[in-house]
Structure 1
């Protein structure tokens, strides 16, 4: 509650011991109540089965000139709650907007075109990440497999180490690490690069050493440098990038890829193959 409501509650608590049993029941109601309602003397008196005069005596015992003055102070908490909620909405949406603006400034159209071409050319695509980045990797797999990409997501450290052995020049490996410090992800990228696979790192880290084992480093906006950045899911910048990448990828041979998407949708809904081929 805001400052005004804290004062109202504090006043009730301070004067509680000198209240009569009826007045204490009134005080208990206001101390425990969390809902904004009709606080008119008539409505509250009916709700508590007390007289309006009892409400007036309660307010005066608490140091107010009457019930109306007490209620003016008490109702401030609900106004502040509303403002607080609106502030939270603005904070979240404002942070999203800042991330979108940063993403817009970071997106390199030539890089997106290169990335889309490599997805089309690769025999197999592996996308890996740990934690929330692993969830984003899974999302990428689900989306791109539906438009014909032979793609697998990996979010297990042991699987990343084992999969590194099987990379070759026909493969493409995409590592997701906003911090750029996930050893498992970097290990797979390094090993894949040694085996001539195309390697891409999605990160907010601008460490130049990544270029030694990554064909491309695609920069994401960092949550760490945003005010209140911890209220936003760390997946958000990655998912925005995936949407952009998806748009670039599907724009090439759009009809074919949209048809593939429709086929998978029909397969999921149980239609027979000869119904849509």
Structure 2
């Protein structure tokens, strides 16, 4: 078991080490500028998106998860963050088109910068991990499906939030943590 854990940790470390710093900083800057943030993804990417949205809320951002019943309409100037390993998820593509039509800033988190969604996004943050498709250009992995991408996205987006916190204390974050649990 320890060998598997060590391999997974090494894989994710390798992916995160190879994230383009300028892309990560640009993505971080877009978060800081945004008045409202909308996050979407399908499957496990969607779960990573929800984790990201939750931590953004703790950090005092105004954030919504696309598809939830309390999510308002997106408006011009809002930030729309799409998470799609392949960059080809058809339902995400349709949402990106709608967001762009109203004038939202679309940022994609993906493996594939030259994807359908990447080609219409305002910015792309490439996570050089393996997806379920195992394309020749993707990182090697012992893990099934898109595990490596999902794990890397979770850690990367948490790190990006940390980079935006500056003077927010853990106590302030904890005060916004759920207390009905």
Question: What is the TM-score with the length of structure 1 in the denominator?
Answer: 0.54
Which structure exhibits the higher relative contact order, with contacts defined as CA atoms closer than 8 Å and separated by 6 or more residues?
2
Cα RMSD, aligned residues only: 2.8
The CA distance in 2 between the partners of 1:92 and 1:207, in whole Å, is 32
Deviates more, 1:180-189 or 1:219-228: 219-228
SS of the residue 1:230 aligns to: coil
The CA distance in 2 between the partners of 1:199 and 1:232, in whole Å, is 23
Structure 1 partner of 2:97: 190
Higher helix share: 1
Q: 1:135 aligns with which of 33, 47, 56?
A: 47
**1:47-73: CA deviations, max 9, x gaps?**
xxxxxxxxxxxxxxxxxxxxxxxxxxx
**Contact residue 118 and residue 172 of structure 1 kept, 8 A:** yes
> For residues 1-277 of structure 1, what are the structure 2 equivalents within 5 Å?
88-108=1-21, 110-154=22-66, 166-207=73-114, 209-223=116-130, 224=134, 225=138, 226-230=140-144, 233-234=147-148, 235-251=150-166, 254-255=167-168, 258=170, 260-265=172-177, 268=179
SS of the residue 1:268 aligns to: coil
**Contact residue 144 and residue 151 of structure 1 kept, 8 A:** yes
The CA distance in 1 between the partners of 2:78 and 2:105, in whole Å, is 6
Larger Rg: 1
Runs of 5+ consecutive residues of structure 2 not aligned to the other structure: none
Instruction: Sort the Cα spacing of 1:198 and 1:123 in 2 relative to 1 into closer, same or farther, 3 A.
Output: same
Question: How much has 1:120 moved relative to structure 2?
Answer: 2.4
The CA distance in 1 between the partners of 2:115 and 2:174, in whole Å, is 41
The CA distance in 2 between the partners of 1:259 and 1:118, in whole Å, is 25
Q: How many residues align?
A: 172
The CA distance in 1 between the partners of 2:145 and 2:40, in whole Å, is 24
Instruction: Sort the Cα spacing of 1:134 and 1:231 in 2 relative to 1 into closer, same or farther, 3 A.
Output: closer
Runs of 5+ consecutive residues of structure 1 not aligned to the other structure: 1-87, 271-277
Instruction: Sort the Cα spacing of 1:125 and 1:188 in 2 relative to 1 into closer, same or farther, 3 A.
Output: same
